[in-house]
Amino acid sequence: MIRFECGLARPAFTLDAAFSAGLGITALFGPSGSGKSTIIRLVAGLEKPDRGCITIGERRFVDSSAGIFLKPWQRRAAMVFQDSQLFPHLTVRQNLDYGRRLTPIPERRIAPEAVIEILGIGALMARNPVTLSGGERQRVAIGRALLASPRVLLMDEPLASLDADRRLDILPFIERLRDEFSIPILYVSHAIEEVARLAATVVRIDQGRVTSVGSPAEVMTGNALDRPGERFSRLSILNGTFARYLPEYGVSVIAHPAGDIIVAGQTRANGPVRIAIQATNVTLAIGRPTNISVRTALQGQITGLETDDGPFAHVTIALAGGDRLEAFATRLAIDKLGLDVGDEITALVKAVAIDEKGVPGLSGGRLQS
């Protein structure tokens, strides 16, 4: 369990934030300069708040009212940065051992063999960091952090320095460590598909304050008409089930009560699958169009329609099965279609608009291991 409540005043920035979260990945999400990395630094002990309390499990890292401020080495909060920050003069094995040697023997809860197997770095042990790819270096950095048997793992945009293919390579490894180690993880990212795929809890932060806390589906939705630029960060999270792979077309079919969802590539996901769909990638239609290239057509009913004097309308659609889908359209389109709350609607989503980073085990035609 993570409990965070801190205040911090700096000449150009003020943080006044509070949230709590359980095991798994807690994503800190918000615009640049909102305070995400400051929260990470406060949990790690690299900065001291003016006031507040930070608790991980039963261990109090900070309690200003009781005069408690543990030093960084007392907290055992392991960090993974954008840059792997491996020691260039040490081999992979030696880098991994470094994190483990710093941990007292009675507190070494994580076995090296498990970490090496989960991160797929067994063949890299004798190599030096300079010979590794960016994705390999980040996997080793994650391994070094895990072998310190931390109370909390802090990941500050760990994939930001990687290209799209390397990000896709490393996401399954992050999922495995999330699922197989009972360690709370604070994860900072600007990539909304990453957050939707990985996080159990999302903490949305703006200008040093927490604006919402909840599941990705709860936090990534809402009205963005008052801040038009945010429409590009509005997501709907749909819960489907892998149905079948069509090898002749290179696409997977995800079954959903409102209609099949077509995604590019093959997935190894068995059972439930979360699909992240940006509100700007949804097209609205009356009836079910047939002579159209879009294959994902979801049936629902309009339950919310928000407009102002700007060009856009924000539409909320209730889908069969209980999921909610958001869409943005121009007010012109809404008026020409004569749409209103209560109308039955078809929501169209192009397969190429679904980011494969948001689908476990799927990578635009490449089968992930």
- Name which of 309, 305, 352 is nearest 329 in CA terms: 305
Give the pLDDT confidence score for residue 229 in this predicted structure.
55
Point out the least confidently predicted range of 23-32, 78-87, 198-207, 222-231. Answer: 222-231
What pLDDT is attached to residue 170?
Answer: 81
Chain centroid offset of residue 41 CA: 19
Question: Taken in order 201, 60, 73, 205, is the CA torsion positive or negative?
Answer: positive
| Torsion, Cα of 28, 29, 33, 35 (10° steps) | -30
Answer yes or no: is pLDDT of 60 > 70: yes
Inter-residue contact 98 to 141 (CB < 8 Å): no
> Is the Cβ–Cβ distance between 296 and 325 less than 8 Å?
no
0.85 exceeded by pTM = no
108 by Cβ neighbours in 10 Å (0-12 / 13-18 / 19+) ranks as middle
User: What is the phi/psi pair of residue 52, to 5°?
Assistant: 135, -175
Lowest-pLDDT choice from 72-81, 84-93, 188-197: 188-197
What are the C-alpha distances in Å from 270 to residues 120, 177, 250, 256? 21, 18, 18, 14
- 39 SS3 class: helix
Domain boundaries, the chain: 2-219, 228-367
- Worst-scoring range by mean pLDDT, 48-52, 227-231, 325-329? 227-231
Query: What's the pLDDT tens digit per position in 136-193?
Result: 999 999 999 999 889 999 999 888 888 777 777 788 888 888 888 888 999 998 777 7
What is the structure's pLDDT at 31? Answer: 85
Class of domain 228-367: mainly beta
Amino acid at 50: D
pLDDT at 358: 63
Integer Cα distance of 141 and 137 in angstroms? 6
Average pLDDT over residues 56-80: 93
Q: What residues contact 159, with CB distance under 8 A and at least 6 apart?
A: 138, 166, 167, 170, 171, 189, 191, 194
- 3.40.50.10800, 3.40.50.10320, 3.40.640.10, 3.40.50.300: CATH of 2-219: 3.40.50.300
- Residue range 18-39: average pLDDT? 91
* Burial track 212-224 (b if 16+ CB lie within 10 A, e otherwise): bbeebbebbbeeb
Distance of CA 138 to the CA centre of its chain: 17
Q: What percent of the chain has pLDDT over 90?
A: 53
